[in-house]
């Protein structure tokens, strides 16, 4: 029997849908090791307290909060990108939908874990609810993160119902019985009847609009946590839009990275095409200019402010004994290299765009470090006669181990989700006219 091109596409996901491959197991094991190492560090932290971290009285936030912002940024941007792709019905973006949904959910699961790691007295965590103050941005953030996580997890599920139905009915994959039963239950009896298509679309549309609204609001709330304080580098009306732009920038970079990994792993060149890379590379370039604009605006206004505290803060970014090198790397990875590679046509290849995306992710991680630590090291009342570790923050092995565990967990969750559905929305592509090969708008203008 001849099988359709879409069944052939589905067959590419034989591993890990039917059974897991050796390479899958090895990667899974490596990530488990990372998480296990993090657990050892966590035990140390629980036994000895936060003294095993580099956080002290003045620098009370460190890598944990940096990771929290980084992963939440990834999560919110995935939610925004997924919603926009769906609502605007951009046909060429269809193969990318599940990527955005995957890293949205995973980012929103991993990010808040770092808040728990940052809290000294976890036994008092319920005080957040017991003594919640509705006028506190922290309360808003807790509500917003939980709301978004539930919404996006549900959206991920709804977006996969057609794929679950496809898998349920498919004969081309030898899926284990237990998994097939589970997938059948998840498919909700969807069989592609016109009424079912209509209702599923309505459900997905409503949730996509809601998520777009709540994700932007939640990321803004995260920014307001900083912006509503008076500290140099934080007290800025620009912070909320900057956070959203930086989140989108890191989200597009993460999307490109996932496109490249899945394309290589599952030989998806026909579905995730070079044109996808060029289009997303172009999106990356636009966001890069936005990031450059916000960065300039942020630092030049602070630099022009001649107050003593702001002066001490801005000097740290120019001093190579402090954060000069990190600032330079942030600008190089986040602005200069992306512009050079993405603007010059002969530098633009899927590979180079992916390398730029990785550099952007590193640059934006460093940017989060520069947002948090130098400000906390610059109190309004200057620190005198204190031990050096109170003045300068240095992350310890415990924090690095837990950071590694966070990244390991991020990969693990995506790998586990991949066990139950293909990372490409095969069913959606099948019901479209063709697998769309996108063209960037500047080529369609010719």
Residue 209 makes contact with other proteins by CB under 8 A: yes
Q: Does 143 bind other proteins (CB under 8 A)?
A: yes
Choice from 11, 210, 275, 349 touching other proteins (CB under 8 A): 210
The window from 148-156, 276-284, 319-327, 381-389 that contacts other proteins (CB under 8 A) reads 148-156
Applying CB under 8 A, the site for other proteins has a residue count of 29
φ/ψ (deg, to 5) at 384? -130, 145
Residue that is written with structure tokens 């290849």 in the block: 349
Instruction: Single out the residue of 158, 151, 208 nearest to residue 186, CA to CA.
Output: 158
Q: Point out which span in 151-159, 166-174, 275-283, 387-395 binds other proteins (CB under 8 A).
A: 151-159
Give the chain's end-to-end CA distance (angstroms, integer): 43
Least Cα distance to 355 among 253, 263, 441 occurs for 253
- Options 200, 335, 371, 423; binder of other proteins; rule CB under 8 A: 200
Candidates 140, 278, 317, 365: give the one binding other proteins (CB under 8 A): 140
Q: How many helices (H) and strands (E) does the chain have?
A: 19, 0
> What gap in Å lies between CA 35 and CA 131, rounded to an integer?
33
DSSP 8-state secondary structure symbol assigned to residue 420: T
Nearer Cβ to other proteins (125/132): 132
Selected binder of other proteins within 11, 44, 196, 349 (CB under 8 A): 196
* Distance (Å, whole) CA 115 – CA 28: 25
- CB of residue 164 to other proteins, shortest distance in Å: 11
Tokens at 164, concatenated: 């679950």
Q: Tell which phi-psi region holds residue 89, choosing left (phi > 0), alpha (psi between -120 and 50) or beta.
A: left
Q: Does 158 bind other proteins (CB under 8 A)?
A: yes
Stretch that binds other proteins, among 193-201, 260-268, 376-384, 434-442 (CB under 8 A): 193-201
Cα–Cα distance measured from residue 376 to residue 56, given in angstroms and rounded to the nearest whole number:
10
In the region spanning residues 377 to 396, those forming contacts with other proteins, defined by CB under 8 A, are none
Among 11, 18, 154, 265, binds other proteins (CB under 8 A): 154
CB 18 within 8 A of CB 176: yes
List interacting residues with other proteins (CB under 8 A).
133-135, 140, 143, 147, 150-151, 154, 158, 161, 188-190, 193, 195-196, 199-200, 202-204, 206-207, 209-210, 213-214, 217
């Amino acid at each position: 029997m001849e099988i359709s091109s879409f069944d052939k596409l589905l067959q590419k996901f034989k591993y890990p849908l039917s059974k897991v491959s050796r390479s899958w197991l090895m990667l899974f094991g490596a990530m488990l090791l990372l998480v296990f190492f993090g657990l050892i560090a966590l035990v140390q932290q629980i036994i000895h307290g936060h003294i095993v971290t580099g956080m002290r009285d003045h620098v009370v936030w460190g890598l944990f909060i940096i990771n929290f912002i980084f992963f939440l940024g990834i999560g919110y941007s995935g939610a925004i990108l997924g919603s926009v792709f769906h609502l605007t019905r951009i046909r060429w973006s269809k193969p990318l939908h599940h990527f955005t949904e995957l890293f949205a959910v995973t980012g929103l699961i991993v990010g808040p874990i770092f808040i728990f790691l940052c809290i000294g007295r976890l036994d008092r965590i319920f005080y957040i609810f017991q003594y919640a103050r509705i006028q506190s941005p922290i309360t808003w953030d807790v509500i917003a993160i939980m709301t978004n996580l539930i919404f996006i997890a549900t959206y991920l599920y709804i977006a996969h119902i057609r794929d679950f139905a496809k898998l349920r009915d498919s004969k081309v994959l030898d899926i284990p019985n237990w998994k097939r039963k589970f997938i059948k239950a998840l498919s909700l009896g969807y069989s592609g009847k016109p009424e079912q298509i209509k209702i599923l679309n309505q459900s997905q549309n409503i949730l996509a609009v809601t998520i777009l609204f709540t994700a932007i609001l939640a990321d803004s709330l995260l920014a307001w946590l900083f912006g509503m304080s008076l500290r140099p580098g934080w007290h800025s009306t620009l912070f909320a839009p900057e956070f959203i732009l930086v989140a989108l920038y890191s989200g597009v970079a993460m999307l490109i990275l996932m496109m490249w990994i899945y394309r290589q792993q599952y030989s998806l060149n026909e579905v995730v095409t070079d044109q996808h890379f060029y289009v997303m590379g172009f999106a990356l370039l636009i966001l890069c200019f936005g990031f450059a604009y916000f960065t300039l605006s942020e630092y030049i206004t602070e630099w022009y402010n001649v107050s003593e505290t702001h002066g001490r803060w801005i000097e740290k970014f120019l001093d190579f004994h402090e954060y000069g090198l990190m600032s330079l790397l942030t600008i190089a990875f986040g602005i200069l290299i992306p512009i050079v590679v993405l603007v010059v046509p002969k530098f633009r290849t899927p590979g180079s765009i992916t390398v730029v995306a990785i550099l952007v992710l590193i640059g934006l991680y460093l940017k989060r470090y520069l947002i948090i630590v130098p400000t906390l090291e610059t109190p309004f009342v200057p620190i005198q006669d204190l031990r050096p570790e109170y003045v300068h923050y240095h992350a310890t092995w415990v924090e690095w181990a837990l950071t590694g565990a966070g990244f390991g967990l991020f990969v693990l969750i995506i790998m586990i989700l991949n066990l139950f559905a293909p990372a490409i929305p095969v069913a959606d592509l099948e019901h479209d006219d063709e697998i769309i090969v996108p063209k960037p708008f500047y080529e369609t203008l010719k």
